[in-house]
Structures are given as C-alpha cells and as structure tokens.
A = this chain, B = another copy of it.
Amino acid sequence: MEPPTPPRRVTIVDVARHARVSTTAVSKVLRNAYGASPEMRAKVRRAIDELGYRPLAAARGLRGQTYTIGVMLPDIRNPFFPEIVDGITGRLADTDYQVFLGPGGCNDEQTEARITEAMIDRGMDGIILIAPVSARSRLEHIAATVPTVVVGRHGHSPVYDTVTDDDVTGAALVVDHLVGLGHRRIAHIEHHETDPTRIVEMPNAQRADGYRRAMQAHGLADEIDIVSTVYTQQGGHEGARQLLARPQRPTAIFAGADIVAMGVLDALAEAGLSVPDDISVAGYDNTTFASFGPISLTSVDQAGREIGSNAVRLLLERIAERQKTSVQIKLSPTLVARRTTARVSG
C-alpha cells in the first residue's frame, strides 16, 4: 500500500523549530537578507539540509518573489528559439530563479494574451517575450504590471527593455554576399505584414527593408523584387513558385527565414532546378536545418544564446532595481556561407 496522502511538506516552521530559531531568521537566511549572524546562518542551513526543506514558491510570492521567470515562445517549432532559451537558462543556472516556458499559439494575439496573463496571475517575477505579435499597447500594459524584456522586436518603449538582432544589417550581409558572387537579379521572400505598428517593429519587415536598402546601395534598385508570403515552409514554396513564373527569373533567392528557404528548395527541386548551379538560395537564422550536410544552407546567424543571456541580464536588473530607464540592446549577426550559394552562372 502506498501512503494514501502525500506526506506533509516540510515548512519554514519545521525548520525554525529544528534549528531553535524564529521563522524570521530562517526567512532571512533563505533570502540572504540582512540581519542574521554567521552562526545563525550555519545553524539554519544545517536544519534546512537535514530536513530537506524547500520553500514553497507560491507562498513566497504572496508577500515577496516567486523566483520564477516566464518566457513566452510564439512557436515551439521554430528551431531558432531553443538557442535563445539555452542562453536564458544558462545564465540562470547559478541563481534561485527558475524558467518556465509558455507555449505560444503560433503568432496568435489571443493566445499571447492568455499566456502572459497566466504568467502574471502566477506571480512571475519577470517575463521575457520572444518575438511577440501583440499590439504595442498590450506589451506596455504587461510591462506596467511586471518587469518585462521583449526579444526580437524593434521599437523602443520606456517601460520595457529590448534585445534584438540587427536585421537590416543581416539582410545586407546576404545581399553583399550574393552581389560578391556576381548576382544581380536577387529576389526576396518576406513575411506579409499588415499591421501598421508591427510593420516597423517586426524583424521580417526589417529584413525586407535591409534587403531593399542594400540593393539600392549596390545600384540594383531596379532589380528589387519582393514576394510577400508568410514565414512557413509553404510560404517559401509558394514564394518560389511565383518567382519562377517571372519572365526573367532571379539568379538568387534570399528567404527571410530558414524555414522559408526549405520551402524554396523544395519548390526548386520540383521545378527540376539544381541549387546552387541554376539558382542560389540563402536563408536567415542559421537553424539546425541549415547546417545539416545534405542541405548546407547559406544563412545569417543571430547568436541566439547571446540574445537570451542578454535578455535575462536586463530582466534581473529590472527586477532588482526597478529602474526607471529602459535599455535597448542590438546585436550583430554574421553570415554563414554554405553550399546553396555560388557564383552566378552564365
């Protein structure tokens, strides 16, 4: 027979009694707070170990902190996000904080709202929003309630910090690379954006903009050719089909995301075109896909770990100091040239 009721949890009172001190003293030791002598600390620590005591976060949260940080991921499937999460957890490994991931519903504002509310309701000490699609007013509302860091979305706000990668530069890296290989007819597949505020804040828009500017800088303004679909494999497939139907088809396709590039490769294979001999392809994000040998996709690396660890750093600062100022960090991407791009033929 199993014990029908789980054994009662060890509480701070048990520890206090066992160490022959007050619960206040134990609490102070737990929080490394001022007002406990070294001897007292030692006594309490021993009692904690002996009883196997662990504080109940929910109870702590009622007065103080829960030592919990929520990370909202818009799409667990996107292979770029694990990098960011690693950066976050890595930096938090030595602290008392614990990370929990809120599974976002693939770029759906409603789901985002539900998750962020759930995080706030659970007393999370801070929130990291990764590539949120919600309206800026929503983000500011969240940030007014709980310390917040927004990742992968441009546009400053006084109430939250941001960590982004320079998408304009990233796009330029790709264009420079392709131009360097002799390409001129370089097309771009972007994620279609309608919302006016998002149009400047979302990375996809920035990439398209970076592409446009870089093309102009190379004197290729007339060759600018952008297809608007969505950042999915299907979107890439569809985009490539449209580009292949052009009277003069491009010699290179710059997809706004690796997953889009996958769809492009797929469509090119169906059309009987070989990469990179007939056409060059580049992606963005340098996901696991990209590095995988048989694919070997030229891509832009965003240094996800750094993004994550910077986000945590800012968040902890915000939690600790309740700073009035907001910080924006912009990291620089690098190009990873692989086998899907080559010197233009013919």
Contact = CB atoms under 8 A, between A and B. Distances in A.
Interface of A: 2-4, 6, 54-59, 61-62, 66, 68, 70, 76-77, 79, 81-82, 85, 89, 98-103, 105, 114-115, 117-118, 120-123, 144-146, 158-159, 233, 262, 265-266, 269-270, 288-289, 292-295, 324
B118 A98 contact: yes
Given A56-B121, A68-B122, A101-B101, 6 more contacts: A54-B117, A54-B120, A58-B62, A66-B122, A79-B79, A100-B102
Contacts of A56: 121, 123
A296 to B, nearest CB: 10
Number of copies: 2
B61 A58 contact: yes
Contacts of A269: 293-294
Contacts of A294: 265-266, 269, 294-295
List the 9 shortest-distance A-B pairs measured between CB atoms, nearest first. A266-B293, A101-B101, A100-B100, A98-B118, A58-B61, A58-B58, A58-B123, A57-B122, A76-B82
In terms of DSSP, what is the predominant structure of the interface of chain A? mixed
A265 B57 CA distance: 47
A95 to B, nearest CB: 12
Contacts of A101: 76, 100-103
26 contacts: A2-B158, A4-B324, A6-B146, A55-B121, A56-B121, A56-B123, A57-B58, A57-B118, A57-B122, A58-B59, A58-B123, A62-B62, A70-B100, A77-B79, A77-B82, A89-B103, A99-B103, A100-B100, A101-B101, A262-B292, A265-B293, A265-B294, A266-B293, A269-B294, A289-B289, A294-B294
Contact of A6 (B62, B103, B123, B145): B145
A142 to B, nearest CB: 11
A200 to B, nearest CB: 23
B123 A57 contact: yes
Contact of A159 (B2, B57, B121, B288): B2
A103 B121 contact: no
Given A54-B117, A144-B2, A159-B2, A103 B85 contact: yes
A264 to B, nearest CB: 10
A9 to B, nearest CB: 8
Contact of A58 (B81, B117, B122, B144): B122
Given A2-B144, A294-B269, A66 B58 contact: yes
B85 A76 contact: yes
A122 to B, nearest CB: 4
A144 B81 CA distance: 34
A101 B79 CA distance: 16
A57 B2 contact: no
Contacts of A266: 292-294
